Amino acid sequence: MKFRSSTIAFACAAALCGHADAAVRDGTEALPLKACHLSVSQATARVAARCGTLSVPENPAEPNGRTIDLAVALLPASARTRADDPLVFITGGPGQSALESFVLAGHAFRRIGRDRDILLVDQRGTGDSNRLSCDMPDSHEELTASAEQRREWMRECLDQLPGDPRFYTTSVAIRDLDAVRVALGYELLNLYGISYGSRVAQAYARRYPDNTRSVILDGVVPMDLALGPDISLDAQRALGLLFQRCADDEACNERFPDLADSFAQVQAQLREGALQLVLADPVTAELTELMFSDEYFTGVIRMFSYAPETVALLPLLIDHAASYGDYAPLAAQALLVMQELGDSITTGMHHAVVCTEDIPFITDDDALREQLRETYLGANTLEYLADACSVWPQGVIDPDFKEPWTSGIPTLILSGEADPVTPPRNGERLLETLANARHVVGPGQGHGLAARGCVPRLMADFVAGADPAALEVECVERIAPAPFFLRFTGPNP
């Protein structure tokens, strides 16, 4: 679910100075830690931490059976006096590595990291926790293939996996997180979950309420919501907000007065047939041939809708293709998108979750598919997931898993007004069952609010006091989306 965030890393040099509470920072006999650096291919930054592994049963029902190792990283608090309850950073996807994601997003947690340890656990099946990887075609091929071809790819993927995907679901993963808590000697946890990570946070807090001090849900997925159909519907909503914001912006409207029509023109042409392009690869600069299709186009639009910085480019890219017939800029971005998705999402773990926790709970009928076909993404995403899950084994799921989370645990819900995958209505839905929660919406923002404007300070204040009602949230209203690019040299000064 999460796509991209800032590449400024969270530096914690003081964390390794060896002051008070070194025993906790070095782990315990159950989970010894040693100095390490976290890194990710998309950035040059490295984050100092202390790392270790915890061995857990692959199948919780067989404690003496096969085991897997969970990758754990701890960023000790930089202050001499620290709180006893760490913040757990839970990333999205499903299928992303928490240890890698934090390198890109960690600067948003610098304030929290002064007084509290930051705990990272690669969820089983991701990162270095028995990663469930397999060789798959790119997203374009998957979406355009026949149903039988998709199913065959899934069978081949299952044969390659280094584990049984039935035991890589959220219901099992939260047991792992609590095992890490116990091994490191923490009594209470503060949870931050973004996108799919918000589901993990809710599931943990429901099963282990006595060990959960506070919860931050950034781009929330309510427990009773089955993802699938809403992907296309929410993406269409975000596109409509883009068109409206451009129309309301004097400079954007003057430069791109017919943006919605230009979008329709581009999509209509690509739906008639893919265009053969030759362009410089945006990473290697080598000339590359590409059949640029509607699936590539819609993939760029959807992924660029996640962040205000990339939303700002969309009117220019759409207009350039419609006005000049030059699809190379869009195609270059499509290549980047496909590469980032392939690098960040672990297919086996993603399908283990979606095919157990989402697709079985969707009522798929002709009326729904007709509604989806009216969106720019169409029904392709739901059809692909349905085909994949038809051969994927369903895994372990708690009996109450799809029930709404009902709780009095202090909870802060963050939403972006223009989020294309977890819109603000999800947060409002969750408020109905939470007795001690507050929902904050960032105007014009996309998926993931943690790094925006005053939100890092807001989160730090919340974790410090665990009192959502006491937060001063007016500063969020002053967060503005990135200005539109009116030309390829940038936005107006």
- What single-letter DSSP state applies at residue 86? P
3-state secondary structure of 172: helix
pLDDT of residue 140: 64
Is pLDDT above 50 for 2? no
CB 70: neighbour CB atoms within 10 A?
25
pLDDT average, residue stretch 345-368: 92
Alpha-carbon gap, residue 331 to 317, rounded angstroms: 10
3-state secondary structure at position 190 = strand
Tens digits of residue pLDDT in 107-156: 999 999 999 999 999 999 999 999 999 988 766 676 678 889 999 999 99
Q: Is the peptide bond before 76 cis (omega within 30 degrees of 0)?
A: no
Whole-angstrom Cα distance, residue 47 to residue 89? 14
Instruction: Return the amino acid letter for 16.
Output: L
Q: Which residue has the tokens 């943006």?
A: 259
According to DSSP, the β-strands at 118-121 and 67-75 are antiparallel
pLDDT, tens only, 42-93: 778 899 999 999 999 999 999 999 999 999 999 999 998 999 999 999 999 9
Instruction: Choose among 362, 112, 135: nearest CA to 229.
Output: 362
Residue 171 CB contacts under 8 Å (≥ 6 apart), including other chains: 203, 396, 397, 398, 401
Are 216 and 398 within 8 A, CB to CB?
A: no
pLDDT per residue as tens digits for the range 452-472: 999 999 999 999 999 999 999
pLDDT greater than 80 at residue 14: no
Tell me the backbone φ, ψ of residue 115, rounded to 5 degrees: -110, -10
For the cut 60, the answer to whether the pLDDT of residue 11 exceeds it is no
| Whole-angstrom distance, CA of residue 286 vs CA of residue 397 | 47
Q: Dmax over Cα atoms in the chain, in whole Å?
A: 68
Residue 234 sits at the vertex; the CA angle it makes with 123 and 122, to the nearest 5 degrees, is 5
The pairing of strands 189-194 and 212-218 is parallel
Instruction: Calculate what percentage of the chain has a pLDDT beyond 70.
Output: 93
Signed CA dihedral, 43, 289, 280, 384: sign only = negative
Q: Give the model's pLDDT for residue 145.
A: 80
| Region of poorest pLDDT, from 12-26, 127-141, 386-400, 474-488 | 12-26
Alpha helix (H) ranges present in 136-256? Answer: 139-144, 147-160, 170-184, 196-207, 229-248, 250-255
Alpha helices per DSSP H over 325-423:
328-344, 347-357, 366-373, 380-389
192: β partners: 89, 216
190 DSSP β-pair partners? 87, 214
**Partners of 121 in the beta sheet?**
72
Domain boundaries, the chain: 13-226+402-478
Cβ neighbours of residue 141 under 8 Å, at least 6 residues apart?
none
Using the Cα atoms of residue 397, residue 400, residue 403 and residue 404 in order, give the sign of their dihedral.
negative
Average pLDDT over residues 19-46: 76
Contacts of 364 (CB under 8 A, 6+ apart): 382, 386
Helix axes 259-272, 294-304, angle to 10 degrees: 140
245-304 residue pLDDT tens: 999 999 999 999 999 999 999 999 999 999 999 988 887 888 888 899 999 999 999 999
Of 351-355, 370-374, 481-485, the poorest mean pLDDT is in 370-374
pLDDT at site 144: 74
Residues of the chain with pLDDT > 90, as a percent, come to 80
The pLDDT assigned to 120 comes to 98
Q: Which two tokens stand for residue 123?
A: 């969820």
CA distances from 111 to 14, 79, 455 (A): 13, 11, 11
Q: Which residue has the higher pLDDT, 313 or 367?
A: 313
User: Considering the entire predicted model, what is its pTM?
Assistant: 0.93
- Among 45, 183, 58, smallest CA distance to 104 is for 45
Round to whole Å and give the CA distance between 51 and 45: 17
Per-residue pLDDT reduced to its tens digit, 404-437: 999 999 999 999 999 999 999 999 999 999 999 9
What pLDDT shows up at residue 342?
64
Question: Under a CB-based contact definition with an 8 Å cutoff, are residues 422 and 415 in contact?
Answer: yes
Give how far Cα 340 sits from Cα of 118, 300, 422, Å.
26, 12, 20
Mean of the pLDDT values across residues 148-177? Answer: 96
* Ranges 18-32, 356-370, 373-387: which has the least confidence: 18-32
> CATH for 13-226+402-478, among 1.10.510.10, 3.20.20.10, 3.40.50.1820, 3.40.50.300?
3.40.50.1820
Place of tokens 């503060």: 190
pLDDT for 3 equals: 32
As to burial, measured by CB atoms within 10 angstroms (0-12 exposed, 13-18 middle, 19+ buried), residue 473 is middle
Segment holding 12, helix H or strand E: none
Distance in angstroms (rounded) separating the CA atoms of residues 29 and 32 = 6
The tokens describing 362, both together, are 């969707």
